[in-house]
Structure 1
Amino acid sequence: MSNATQFHTNITVRRQLLERVMICILTTVPCCVFLFMNCAMLLTLRSKSVFRETSRYILLYNLLLADTALLVQSQLMYILAVCRMTLTYPVCGVLIMLANLTTAISFLTLAVMSLERYVAVCYPLKHATIITIRNSGVAIIVVWAFSALSILTRVILLLNFPFEELQSLQMKHFCGKESMLLDPMADLYDKSLTYCLFVSTSVAVGCSYIGVILVARSASTDKASAQKAGNTLLLHLVQLGLSLSSTIHNPILTAISEVLDRTVLLHMQIVLYVCFIIFPRCMTSLIYGIRDQTIRPVLLYNLCCQCRGSLSVIS
């Protein structure tokens, strides 16, 4: 009987290990592909002076940098959770604060980029005066300052928790956003800030889209340019919606876990993670890398050079 029990235990352990390896592979491969694309885009945006001296591309670089950092952080946290590894509260806090910082930067930069497209289409004669490199730098500083201030507020709220009463700083549960919301005020602040960022960014992108579409219908504007800007803003709305979906990723999993069996739930977990967590972080590269006529040839050249370099190293 003991041998049979030990045999079934070994089978269960091997099956669980195989599932964890499969999950890591199925999520890490697309993550690495998207990370490769983002890094190629970052390299492209620093490779030529036209990108370094144009406000639109400066803002794009800031957005892409935040998305790339969030992509790396999300995959690291996911692998730690799959491998059943727990962290200490300070280490988990740093990772969660990094995610909150980059998320806020991503939302606010999307809003600024949408307003830049609005000015470019609706006020083309004033665009060069309003959207300057200096003003873009100021906007980026304001975005980072506001995001850092929100993190400082989170840290202050987190310090209200009596950590000295804990026997150990080692966490009993996996590191996640919910794990660091130890105080009711911290939870309320987190939800309020997330909704505020989403609503404000949605209003900025939506109003810019409506303005661009109205201008595109007039006879005194470049319809092709206005239509392209409108499509870009529409894609930003989709990107924003997917980014918000990442905040309800865990509640969705909790809800469907009650009605689906374990195998189907495992597949759904991978699909939801790739669609809601990973994919929104690479949409910036897809939107601008494919549609922007200035970026596309340089990006393709950098991608080909990097692929050739990797193949030469392997051979």
Structure 2
Amino acid sequence: MPRTNYNNTAGLKYHTTHETLLYASLTMGSSSIFLYINSVLLFTLRSKSVFRETSRYILLYNLLFADTVYLISSSLIYMLAAFRIKLTFYMCSVVILPPQLVYSISPLTLTVMSLERFVAICYPLRHAVIITIRNTGVAITLVWLTSSLSIIIRVLMLLCSNTEFSFNLQMKDICSKETVFFVPMSHHFVTAYSGIVLLSAGVTIICSYIGVTLVARSASTNKASARKASQTLLLHLFQLGLILISTFQSNIITAAATIMERSHVLRLYSLSFIFLTILPRCLSTFIYGLRDQTIRPFLIQHLCCQWRCSAFLNKANVGE
């Protein structure tokens, strides 16, 4: 009997390890693909002066940069959790802070980008006056200051708490934001802060969409441009909805861990990571990279090998 139990336990451990490697490979594979696409788009936005001198593309660069940092940091946290690797408190804090810093950059930048589209469609004559490079820089600075302020407040809450801890203490659990910012007041602050940011962003995008839609129905405007702007705002709203759902990801995983086996929790964690962490941070590439006629040719050229694209274009020209 003991021999049978040992074999069953060994088989279970092998099965769990095999599944861990499988899901980690699939998840990291998809994450690497999107990271590559995001990186190419970031390079594309810095390669031409038209992108560097246009407010819309400057905001897009800021959004993609924050999303790329979030993807890299989140992928590292996923690997640590999947393989149950434990860190010291100090090392975990270094890993956790970057994604927590840039988490709210996306909804805040989406808000500014929605306002830019609203002004471009509803007030086209004043767009060049309102949406300037200087004003765009001020907006981006405010976005980063707002996100940084939330991290500073949470760190101060941790330092001012009466709980004693050591930065070099080996953590008993896997690295996560809950294990670093374990002060209850910090959790309440994050809930309130995230709610305010996401609610404000949602209301702004919806109001911008309504304004653009009303203008699109007018006979005295460029309906094609207004229709495309309204579709972009809807995609922003969908992207914001996924980010909102992702805020409950840790709660869902924690609740599932109490009633499900580890192998099932790993499947749920992997799926939620793909659809709630990777997907929302990669939609901007498709919303702008593939739909924008100015970016798309350069993005496709940089995504594939440039000589292959050139060869393909030359053949097409010869055929004509």
After TM superposition, is the score higher than 0.5?
A: yes
1-structure distance, mates of 2:293, 2:50: 13
Map 1:61-210 to 2 at 5 A: 61-162=61-162, 164=164, 169-210=169-210
Q: CA distance change for structure 1 residues 307 and 32 in 2, over 3 Å: closer, same or farther? A: farther
Between 164-173 and 58-67, the greater mean CA deviation after superposition? 164-173
Q: CA distance change for structure 1 residues 156 and 75 in 2, over 3 Å: closer, same or farther? A: same
1-structure distance, mates of 2:244, 2:171: 27
Is the 2:82–2:266 Cα contact (8 Å) retained in structure 1?
Answer: no
Q: CA distance change for structure 1 residues 149 and 207 in 2, over 3 Å: closer, same or farther? A: same
Q: Which amino acid aligns with 1:120?
A: A
Query: Aligned pair count?
Result: 309
Instruction: Tell me which residue corresponds to 1:221.
Output: 221
Deviation at 1:257, TM superposition (A): 5.3
1-structure distance, mates of 2:226, 2:10: 63
Overall identity of the aligned pairs, in %? 50
Instruction: Tell me which residue corresponds to 1:311.
Output: none
Q: Which amino acid aligns with 2:159?
A: L
Deviation at 1:151, TM superposition (A): 1.3
Instruction: Tell me which residue corresponds to 2:317.
Output: none
2-structure distance, mates of 1:149, 1:255: 30
Q: Which amino acid aligns with 1:105?
A: I
Q: Secondary structure at the match of 2:125?
A: helix
Instruction: Tell me which residue corresponds to 1:240.
Output: 240
Q: Secondary structure at the match of 1:298?
A: helix
Deviation at 1:145, TM superposition (A): 1.4
Q: Secondary structure at the match of 2:175?
A: coil
Deviation at 1:106, TM superposition (A): 1.3
Q: Secondary structure at the match of 1:124?
A: coil
Q: Secondary structure at the match of 1:199?
A: helix
Deviation at 1:260, TM superposition (A): 6.0
Map 1:18-97 to 2 at 5 A: 18-97=18-97
Deviation at 1:97, TM superposition (A): 2.2
Between 9-18 and 258-267, the greater mean CA deviation after superposition? 258-267
Deviation at 1:264, TM superposition (A): 5.0
Between 285-294 and 256-265, the greater mean CA deviation after superposition? 256-265
Is the 2:89–2:168 Cα contact (8 Å) retained in structure 1?
Answer: no
Q: Secondary structure at the match of 1:173?
A: coil
Q: Which amino acid aligns with 1:253?
A: I
Note the alpha carbon deviations across 1:206-228, whole angstroms, 9 max, x for none. 11111100111111110000000
Between 11-20 and 263-272, the greater mean CA deviation after superposition? 263-272
2-structure distance, mates of 1:307, 1:159: 55
2-structure distance, mates of 1:282, 1:106: 11
Instruction: Tell me which residue corresponds to 1:313.
Output: none
Is the 2:90–2:167 Cα contact (8 Å) retained in structure 1?
Answer: no
Unaligned ranges ≥5, structure 1: 309-315
Q: Secondary structure at the match of 2:279?
A: helix
Q: Secondary structure at the match of 1:46?
A: helix
Deviation at 1:7, TM superposition (A): 3.3
2-structure distance, mates of 1:169, 1:264: 31
1-structure distance, mates of 2:209, 2:129: 22
Q: Which amino acid aligns with 2:11?
A: I
1-structure distance, mates of 2:163, 2:20: 32
Deviation at 1:179, TM superposition (A): 1.6
Q: CA distance change for structure 1 residues 262 and 182 in 2, over 3 Å: closer, same or farther? A: closer
Instruction: Tell me which residue corresponds to 2:313.
Output: none
How big is the alpha-carbon RMSD for the aligned residues of Structure 1 and Structure 2?
Answer: 2.2
Note the alpha carbon deviations across 1:159-194, whole angstroms, 9 max, x for none. 124564569621111111222232221111111111
Is the 1:111–1:201 Cα contact (8 Å) retained in structure 2?
Answer: yes
Q: Which amino acid aligns with 1:103?
A: Y
Q: Secondary structure at the match of 1:218?
A: coil
Is the 1:161–1:182 Cα contact (8 Å) retained in structure 2?
Answer: no
1-structure distance, mates of 2:36, 2:209: 30
Q: CA distance change for structure 1 residues 230 and 301 in 2, over 3 Å: closer, same or farther? A: same
1-structure distance, mates of 2:241, 2:159: 32
Q: CA distance change for structure 1 residues 167 and 105 in 2, over 3 Å: closer, same or farther? A: closer
Is the 2:19–2:263 Cα contact (8 Å) retained in structure 1?
Answer: no
Is the 1:104–1:147 Cα contact (8 Å) retained in structure 2?
Answer: yes
Deviation at 1:305, TM superposition (A): 2.4
